[in-house]
Chains A and B, each alone.
Chain A
Amino acid sequence: METAERMGMVWCPDWPVLARRRAEPTLVGVPVAVLAHGVIAAASAEARAEDVRPGIRRREAEARCSGLVLVDGDPPAEARAFEAVARAVEAFTPRVELDRPGRLGFPTRGPSRYFGGDDALGAAVAAAVAELGIPEVRVGIADGALAAWLAARRAAPGAAFVVAPGESPAFLAPWPVTVLGDHTLADLLGRLGLRTLGAFAELPAPAVLARFATPGAVAHHRAQGRDDTPLDLAVPPPDLVETCEFDPPVARVDAAAFAAKTLADRLLSQLADRGLACTRVMVEAETEHGERLARCWRHEGALTPATLAERVRWQLEAWLLAGDGKPVDDDLADADMVTGGLTRLWLRPEGVVPADGRQLGFWGGDQAAADRAARALARVQGMLGHEAVVTPVIQGGRTPAERVRWVPWGDVLEPARDPSAAWPGSLPDPAPARVFEPPVPAELLDATGTPVRVSGRGECGAPPATLRSAELPNGGGPVVGWAGPWTHDVRWWDADSRRRGAHWQVVLDGGVACLVVLESGRAGLEALYD
């Protein structure tokens, strides 16, 4: 049996919380949890003491721990903050592979000989990272990435745990199958009575391949303590390096990330033409002052264009933005930071595996049409900027403008507020086809020509008789039908985002229907039922 490469793994548990605390010192010492998609993604030790753990819903977390501070996850900022850890580990070995913010791996064969053994290397790495103000860091060294990561989980905070060479299968055996990271597979194995990695690893490999296909075979391979990715590693052809040059040099992340997206697409489609998928990619850049930067990113499965572009974007943010999120300034830059804009960017596949194919959608999924559309939209984004091409996503809210989130093309289509929640006082259907954000100035007048007012109790003195606005045909006209005022007072507990006002639906003579809003004494045309 081939032995897995000896790997070290640096793990900062609950990195999203740590990264947030490094940015906002006021959060130190209070229970903090980071949300992603409405569930807890990471929780601080104080919150965990109150039984707040990843995977539970927001409301349940709030119920379990009073005084819990919930913050939204920000993966780019987390990746940016993790760059400091990557630099610290780089002092020991140049071959650092970022796995995700909070976790990185490195091969230990060379460095542990230099530093006097795995124990000494692990302790030195842990001490170097802890010195950055991260005492929670844990280091694990074992054969293969999975065992190394589990060793890091076994380690005490600020220390290292070493699994002796050849001991990895025995070390892995008692762990539950859920650590493989594949929930569907773990669930199925659990129901088959195979609850530990050891039980799973004892199955004959051909039977696993026959029953669970390639993903199962890879998981079986990992459970046996052999290296996690490559069942049969193909060495990448050397010409598969995607490069792009920037002239003039770019210092803005979005400009560089946009180019990176194209590079990622090109690289992966080139690999796909050869029947390969990429598991590890080297991101390299050169600045106008001749500095060379390089960082390796790995992925458990195979990288898709979106995940690769996301990782390249994180890396570019880490390079181009100083720790506080401001663009690099020549005076502020220290020795580790880049001192100028980027002139070149490379993407080089470091690890590739045979692609096991992709099943196209059975219904309505015309991949060719989607690819064509994606190319056209990327081109328009190149002309107008990332934010100029957007896709609407329906979300929760009260007004037509609130109920739509405009997501830039290429970002994750995800509502910011739950659309299925109850939104009392939301405006009734049908939705207006033209929405003005912010509302355009208008005049809502009563029969005597004075502006319509609404009292604090939501009562309207005189019914509206005339509506005037520059956006209306002929500048407006007499009101023939109306409903309202519907008063709202939202977020009254927060002085900055509080909104208080009244809405009317109004139909003008001539059949023009519109939505009028009155806020702080000023009327505005909020939408047109065009």
Chain B
Amino acid sequence: MALAALPHPPGTRRDDPRRDLPSRDAGARELLRVAGERGRPLVLARERALALPGPLAEILPEGLQRGTVVTVDGVPGSGTATLGLQLAAAATAAGEWAAAVDPHGTLGGLAAHQQGVALERLAVIRDVSAQRWPTVVAALLEGMTLVLTAVPVHARHGDARRLAARARERGAVLVAMGDWPAEAALRLYAERSEWTGLGAGHGLLSDRATDVRVERRGTATRVRLAS
């Protein structure tokens, strides 16, 4: 009895197959590999990601990880709204549903369509006061795969953390537009946009190039997105 309670010396654990099986036994190794394959989680992390369409695919080839928070920030006019819509397009392109919390009612529906969002699977929520914002976003995270939301000016750290936890639990992507007071897996900053096609009194707006700073945990890169 006393012996059984003692820990095994290092390298002699009974459940270690390398100790129990001779290393030359290729057949047994094959069996183990198949067993490991069977025991593998059915949905791998990369299968839970939403593939991104268009130019964003180049800078985020791994796609949008479900259950995480992505922030998009920048001054007005630098391309933040377009970035947000491109992320929403990733969700609707996969047949999933997206919601956009738009307290001021300024989201451009036509631009959403042109960025590839399937409009029949996009719901826009208007007239959300700052007090109700956490409740509304939490309710949306229950049912939507992607929730795009403008962050109220004085959003509380506690609310933000709770929403991030809800997104993780439900496997939804929370895209926070603005100053997100908690942690995020991915932060995108639209630094500035450059337009071509429009001259002094002639031409039309045609193409834009946006400088985007991409911050993941611990790393930051700067890329130029053409659209």
Residues in chain A within 8 A of chain B (CB atoms): 364-366, 369-370, 372-377, 379-380, 383-385, 387-394, 400, 403-404, 406, 409, 413, 428-437, 463, 471-473, 480-483, 505, 507-508, 510-514, 527-530
Q: Is B204 an interface residue (CB 8 A)?
A: yes
B198 A400 Cβ-Cβ under 8 A? no
Chain B neighbourhood of A510, CB < 8 A: 77, 192
Q: Is B58 an interface residue (CB 8 A)?
A: no
B107 A433 Cβ-Cβ under 8 A? yes
The one of B96, B112, B132 in contact with A383, judged by C-beta atoms closer than 8 angstroms, is: B132
A380 B201 Cβ-Cβ under 8 A? no
Sample of 9 A–B contacts (CB below 8 Å): A373-B144, A384-B132, A384-B136, A390-B124, A393-B119, A400-B111, A433-B82, A433-B107, A530-B78
Bound Cα distance from A507 to B77, whole angstroms: 10
Chain B neighbourhood of A365, CB < 8 A: 95
B124 A392 Cβ-Cβ under 8 A? yes
Query: What mask results when residues 21 to 53 of chain B are scored 1 for a CB within 8 Å of chain A, else 0?
Result: 000000000000000000000000000000000
Q: Is B126 an interface residue (CB 8 A)?
A: yes
Please report whether the interface of chain B is mostly helix, strand, loop or mixed according to DSSP. mixed
In the assembled complex, the CB of B4 is this many whole angstroms from the nearest CB of chain A, namely 49
Task: Name, among B75, B81, B123, B136, the residue most crowded by chain A CB atoms within 10 Å (CB to CB).
Answer: B123
Chain A neighbourhood of B75, CB < 8 A: 473
A431 B195 Cβ-Cβ under 8 A? no
Chain A neighbourhood of B144, CB < 8 A: 373, 376
> Which size class do B's interface residues fall under?
35 or more
The one of A380, A391, A403, A529 in contact with B140, judged by C-beta atoms closer than 8 angstroms, is: A380
Q: Is B221 an interface residue (CB 8 A)?
A: no
Bound Cα distance from A286 to B131, whole angstroms: 35
A380 B124 Cβ-Cβ under 8 A? no
A404 B108 Cβ-Cβ under 8 A? yes
Known contacts A380-B139, A428-B204, A481-B200, A369 near B76 by CB under 8 Å: no
The one of B99, B110, B204 in contact with A483, judged by C-beta atoms closer than 8 angstroms, is: B204
Known contacts A369-B95, A377-B143, A406 near B125 by CB under 8 Å: no
The one of B108, B115, B143, B205 in contact with A434, judged by C-beta atoms closer than 8 angstroms, is: B108
Q: Is B219 an interface residue (CB 8 A)?
A: no
Bound Cα distance from A209 to B26, whole angstroms: 61
B204 A406 Cβ-Cβ under 8 A? no
Q: Is B145 an interface residue (CB 8 A)?
A: yes
Closest to A508 in B: B77
A483 B198 Cβ-Cβ under 8 A? yes
The one of A370, A389, A513 in contact with B97, judged by C-beta atoms closer than 8 angstroms, is: A370
Closest to B97 in A: A373
Mark out the residues of chain B between 148 and 201 whose CB falls within 8 Å of any chain A CB in the assembled complex: 192-195, 198-201
Chain A neighbourhood of B96, CB < 8 A: 366, 369
Task: Name, among A372, A431, A433, the residue most crowded by chain B CB atoms within 10 Å (CB to CB).
Answer: A433
B198 A379 Cβ-Cβ under 8 A? no
Closest to A505 in B: B205
Query: What mask results when residues 92 to 105 of chain B are scored 1 for a CB within 8 Å of chain A, else 0?
Result: 00011101000001
A394 B139 Cβ-Cβ under 8 A? no
A482 B145 Cβ-Cβ under 8 A? no
Q: Is B202 an interface residue (CB 8 A)?
A: yes
A404 B198 Cβ-Cβ under 8 A? no
Bound Cα distance from A483 to B199, whole angstroms: 7
Additional pairs, 12, CB under 8 Å, beyond known A392-B124, A433-B108: A373-B121, A376-B140, A383-B135, A384-B128, A391-B123, A400-B110, A404-B108, A433-B111, A435-B109, A473-B78, A483-B199, A513-B193
Known contacts A433-B81, A530-B76, A530-B78, A383 near B136 by CB under 8 Å: yes
Task: Name, among A376, A392, A434, A483, the residue most crowded by chain B CB atoms within 10 Å (CB to CB).
Answer: A392
In the assembled complex, the CB of A339 is this many whole angstroms from the nearest CB of chain B, namely 33
Chain B neighbourhood of A392, CB < 8 A: 109-110, 112-113, 119, 122, 124
Q: Is B12 an interface residue (CB 8 A)?
A: no
B123 A390 Cβ-Cβ under 8 A? yes
Bound Cα distance from A377 to B99, whole angstroms: 9
Task: Name, among B80, B108, B112, B204, the residue most crowded by chain A CB atoms within 10 Å (CB to CB).
Answer: B108
Bound Cα distance from A429 to B54, whole angstroms: 17
Bound Cα distance from A471 to B81, whole angstroms: 14
Closest to B190 in A: A530
Closest to B191 in A: A511
Closest to A394 in B: B113
The one of A384, A404, A473, A511 in contact with B109, judged by C-beta atoms closer than 8 angstroms, is: A404
Bound Cα distance from A387 to B206, whole angstroms: 35
Bound Cα distance from A387 to B124, whole angstroms: 10
In the assembled complex, the CB of A388 is this many whole angstroms from the nearest CB of chain B, namely 5
B110 A383 Cβ-Cβ under 8 A? no
Closest to A361 in B: B95
Known contacts A391-B120, A483-B203, A512-B193, A375 near B143 by CB under 8 Å: yes
A505 B198 Cβ-Cβ under 8 A? yes
B108 A400 Cβ-Cβ under 8 A? yes
B109 A394 Cβ-Cβ under 8 A? yes
Q: Is B79 an interface residue (CB 8 A)?
A: yes
In the assembled complex, the CB of B117 is this many whole angstroms from the nearest CB of chain A, namely 9
A380 B122 Cβ-Cβ under 8 A? no
Closest to A434 in B: B106
Chain A neighbourhood of B194, CB < 8 A: 511
The one of A429, A436, A511 in contact with B195, judged by C-beta atoms closer than 8 angstroms, is: A511
